[in-house]
Amino acid sequence: MPIIRDIPLSLKTKEVLRRAGIREHSKLRSKAETSICELLASVDEARLLEPAIAYEIYLITKVGKRQVSLEDNISLHCSLIHSVFPQAKELAVAVCTIGPKLEEKVTDHFDRSESWQGMLLDAIGSVAVDSLAREAYGDIRRDASLHGHQAGSPLSPGSPGFPISEQWQVLNLVPAEEIGVSLASTAIMIPRKSVSMVIGIGPQMTTWTQAEVCARCSLSKTCPYRVQA
Ligand code: SF4
């Protein structure tokens, strides 16, 4: 069961601004850019990021309309796999986290009524976990290509067709506890800045960009976090 640590993350100010919901023509943009630079330096100095990835690859024995069956009589309730990766041969399951330190610092800022710093640091954490998920996907895609396969785009519990309750099964399928990730009773991951995903592997997998997801999203007209092509 692969566990990867010490992963370099790309944290771009523009991405932090997007995650903080600060738009291009906002009057706050210049002040935010300065604060983000200072916060990024403090994140480095205090080593607030502890990125880690746990992943495992399972053979798929059957892709049904409502669930996918894996080796060792494991099943995952997800209708998306049938609709987007019906020809998948394997399923990669991954959990990624940046650890608890950054969100503890966010809480400190809010407790001290420093909501500006708290909000921007929280956005830095979101960009860090996004970047980590991209790293995990890149590793899985490279592994797949070594076997002449492709990796489809990641799917996460909580997406339409993939109930959030499946988060319990997803965390059973990787050594999540070894990277310090657990679930609250609501199936939300602890630390909060964590992400789980499954990736279909096989010949000719379907992929999509975040901009394509946002373009199809019902919130795209108002969502401050949307990604445009
Ligand atoms: S537009 Fe939809 S998919 Fe895109 S970031 Fe916003 S909520 Fe997420």
3-state secondary structure 10-62: CCCHHHHHHHCCCCCCCCCHHHHHHHHHHHHHHHHHCCCCCCEEEEEEEEEEE
Q: What is the CATH code for 3-216?
A: 3.40.109.40
pLDDT digits (tens, 9 = 90+) for 137-190: 999 999 999 999 999 999 999 988 999 999 999 999 999 999 999 999 999 999
- Percentage of the chain surpassing pLDDT 90? 85
Q: Are β-strands 90-97 and 150-151 bridged in parallel, bridged antiparallel, or unpaired? A: unpaired
Hey, which of 19, 156, 210, 217 would you mutate to test ligand 1's pocket, going by the most ligand atoms within 8 Å of its Cβ? 217
- Please tell me if the CB atom of residue 169 comes closer than 6 angstroms to any atom of ligand 1: no
pLDDT above 70 (res 195): yes
Mean pLDDT of 202-213: 91
Place of tokens 């396969």: 149
- Please tell me if the CB atom of residue 208 comes closer than 6 angstroms to any atom of ligand 1: no
Domains in the chain: boundaries? 3-216
Q: How far is the CA of 71 from the centre of ligand 1 (A)?
A: 34
Residues 191 and 103: beta-carbon distance below 8 Å:
yes
Residue 131: band (very low, low, confident or very high) from pLDDT cuts 50, 70, 90: very high
- Please tell me if the CB atom of residue 168 comes closer than 6 angstroms to any atom of ligand 1: no
Q: Whose CA is nearest to atom 5 of ligand 1?
A: 226
Q: How far is residue 96's CA from residue 27's CA, in Å, rounded to a whole number?
A: 34
Of the candidates 178, 204, 175, 180, which has an alpha carbon nearest to the alpha carbon of residue 192?
A: 180
Residue 90: band (very low, low, confident or very high) from pLDDT cuts 50, 70, 90: very high
